[in-house]
Amino acid sequence: MSTQQSLQAFSAEDVAKHGSEESLWIIIDGNVYDLSSFQNEHPGGKKILKRVAGKDASKMFWKYHSAGILKKYSPKLQIGTIGSAAAPPPALAPAPAPQKQSTAKEPFEAYGDMIPFGDPSWYQSYYSPYYNESHVALRNEVREWVESALEPNAGEWDEKKEVPPEIYHEMGRRGYLAGALGVHYPTEYTDIRPASVAPEQWDHLHEFILTDEIARAGSGGLIWNLLGGYGIGAPPVVKFATPEVKKRVLPGLLAGEKRICLCITEPDAGSDVANLTTSAKKTEDGKHYIVNGEKKWITNGIWADYFTVAVRTGKPGMNGVSLLLIEKTMPGVNVRRMDCSGMWSSGTTYVTFEDVKVPVENLIGKEDQGFKVIMTNFNHERLGIIIQANRFSRVCYEESIKYAHKRKTFGKRLIDHPVIRTKLANMAIRIEATHNWLENMIFQTCSMSEQEAMLRLGGAIAGLKAQATQTFEYCAREAAQIFGGLSYSRGGQGGKVERLYREVRAYAIPGGSEEIMLDLTMRQSIRVHQVLGAKL
Ligand code: HEM
């Protein structure tokens, strides 16, 4: 295995001497790869490599692969570069770190590959009122990690239905878990600090950037593995658990050493939360609850140490619901993996509670007032879904525009066909509309109290969720059409699009289905605006 340190400088003539099966070297973009051993395991076949042995194979390589392949295989196969310097290849070069202060008058330097609409506009040197240099620094830090450690492996992990636990620990060590709670950065429960942002500066825009950049790996399964259970299961504990429980539970959770999930949905109660039936009956001595019931589609359940569970402690309807922190070590907690059409590495789980004895100290918030706790979770949960769905739409668009520049049909590139440009434009206009509204909403949450945001933004965020998931569905479909057969087989150039297409429903249904969201948009906005003075 070669490392970046041991790269050597070669000339084209040196490479030409290795043009046989016994010693098979090729050049891609000025870098030299030794494929002598790899040729037998090359998924595209051995013969095709022999044809370019000893030569510059850049054109052929880019015809059949996307950039992630080089990132994944370079450490193993790259032995040098053409010319003098043994600099890291472009695909592995660390992201430039422009650190200019932004004001509404001065945009940041361009970042990323500048594909039109391929990144949020403030990455591409457009003016924005929202961001400062700490956002730039975090963006660069996260992107570097995602591009080197996550994106090249996302497909493999999804097929295996498992992300190495080390990656989750790394989320903790980097302070990303602590920064993903929809609240201030909780320095009171952890000594971990993010590398690029002072904890007191950390705001909802940082969390937005963190989620958006991780979503760029193009796998809902991966991002739900890392943030799916935690991002909705941990905030109620942070906000409403007793000080003793917080002290005992939070340090391990924030460090990524322990895992948590949120259990609300049941086989018979999804968006209709007020009708859940999992029961929690108090023992006669008043010291415990005995919990019985089933929870379904629980993200991360199979790996969870803690379960934030909605239970019925009182009368029917929303005023009889409470939240309990149930622990894996308590007898009677059982989990089994569910088979779903997508999100494979997210660990979708069926959880059963059978006579689980839970100390009353594990109550989160007040008895029978769990519905309020659940309500305070919604904006954060939905904004997370929106951020991810919109970046996935962008990934579909970005993959498509790149592919459209290399694939030729009827004698010209796809991008030269007006029908393909129209498809790309229809994707881009939806993505940009969603992103701009999303930035505005997150900016509001930075400025409003949580209570105010819950009341005033609930309707708009519900509408934005519907818009984001409809956009995702649209973009996944259009990208699949552009990729043709490549989006129907798993892996390879259309791999991200194939996977994302299967993940669309995981965004349009949970966290409030599109139908419920659209209705809520109007119901809640009308109610709030009547209070604010709308004459209707
Ligand atoms: C560093 C060198 C190379 C590596 C690491 C590599 C790796 C791979 C991998 C992992 C795949 C599976 C599909 C995917 O995940 O994209 C693949 C497919 C393929 N490769 Fe390569 N490859 C290399 C060079 C080349 C070259 C130079 C050619 C052509 C001369 C080539 C032609 C193909 C073809 C035709 C496929 C099948 C594409 C399809 O299924 O549509 N590869 N390669």
- The per-residue pLDDT for range 110-137, each reduced to its tens digit, is 999 999 999 999 999 999 999 999 999 9
Q: What pLDDT was estimated at residue 84?
A: 66
Give the model's pLDDT for residue 105.
65
Instruction: Name the residue with tokens 């119901």.
Output: 523
Burial class (CB in 10 A: 0-12, 13-18, 19+), 33: buried
> Is residue 492 in contact with ligand 1, taking CB distance under 6 Å?
yes
- Residue 277: closest CA among 316, 233, 308: 316
* Distance from the alpha carbon of residue 501 to the mean position of ligand 1, in angstroms: 23
Radius of gyration of the chain (CA): 25
Ligand 1 pocket mutation, candidates 69, 92, 403, 493, criterion most atoms within 8 A of CB: 69
| Beta bridge pairs of residue 356 | 291
* Distance between Cα 42 and ligand 1 center (Å): 7
The response to whether residue 485 sits with its C-beta less than 6 Å from ligand 1 reads: no
Q: Phi and psi of 117, rounded to 5°?
A: 65, 10
Q: Per the structure block, which two tokens stand in for 346?
A: 């997210």
State residue 337 phi and psi, 5-degree precision: -70, 140
Q: What are phi and psi of 174, to 5 degrees?
A: -80, -5
Between 153-157, 183-187, 271-275, the lowest mean confidence (pLDDT) is in 271-275
Say yes or no: CB of residue 91 within 6 Å of ligand 1.
no
Q: How far apart are CA 229 and CA 259, in angstroms?
A: 8
In percent, how much of the chain has pLDDT > 70?
A: 95
Instruction: Report, as an integer, the average pLDDT of 85-96.
Output: 45
Alpha carbon distance 165, 71 (integer Å): 21
Q: Whose CA is nearest to atom 9 of ligand 1?
A: 43
Percent of the chain with pLDDT over 90: 89
pLDDT at residue 293 is higher than 50: yes
CA–CA separation, 403 and 517 (whole Å): 34
Determine the average pLDDT of the residues in 94-115: 70
Q: Which residues contact 330 (CB under 8 A, 6 or more apart)?
A: 356, 357, 358
46 CA from centroid of ligand 1 (Å): 10
* pLDDT at res. 274: 84
Supply the pLDDT for residue 532: 92
Distance of CA 165 to the CA centre of its chain: 16
| Beta-carbon-side half-sphere exposure of residue 79 (alpha carbons within 13 Å) | 15
Ligand 1 neighbourhood includes 183 CB (under 6 angstroms): no
**Which pair of tokens denotes residue 62?**
């880019």
Q: Whose CA is nearest to atom 5 of ligand 1?
A: 73
Both structure tokens of 390? 């919109």
pLDDT digits (tens, 9 = 90+) for 149-173: 999 999 999 999 999 999 999 999 9
CB 467 within 8 A of CB 437: yes
Ligand 1 atom closest to the Cα of residue 77 is: 1
Say yes or no: ipTM exceeds 0.90: yes
CA of 152 to the centre of ligand 1 (A): 14
Model pLDDT, residue 158: 98
CB atoms within 10 A of CB 334: 12
Name beta bridge partners: 80: 8, 32
The predicted structure's pLDDT at residue 5: 54
Task: Classify residue 179 by its DSSP letter.
Answer: T
pLDDT, residue 88, reads: 46
Distance 59 CA to ligand 1 centre (A): 12
Q: For 59-73, 398-412, 438-452, which range has the lowest pLDDT when averaged over its residues?
A: 59-73
Write the residue with the smallest CA distance to atom 35 of ligand 1.
Answer: 44
Q: What's the full length of the chain, in residues?
A: 536
Ligand 1 centroid–CA 492 distance in Å is 8
User: How many angstroms separate the CA atoms of 424 and 394, rounded?
Assistant: 10
Domains of the chain by start residue, with CATH: 4-92 (3.10.120.10), 121-239 (1.10.540.10), 260-368 (2.40.110.10), 376-531 (1.20.140.10)
Return phi, psi of residue 345, to 5°.
-85, 10
Residue 71's pLDDT is 86
For residue 141, what pLDDT is reported? 98
In this model, does residue 417 exceed pLDDT 70? yes
What does the mean pLDDT of the chain come to?
93
Taking the CB of residue 337, how many other CB atoms lie within 10 A of it?
A: 13
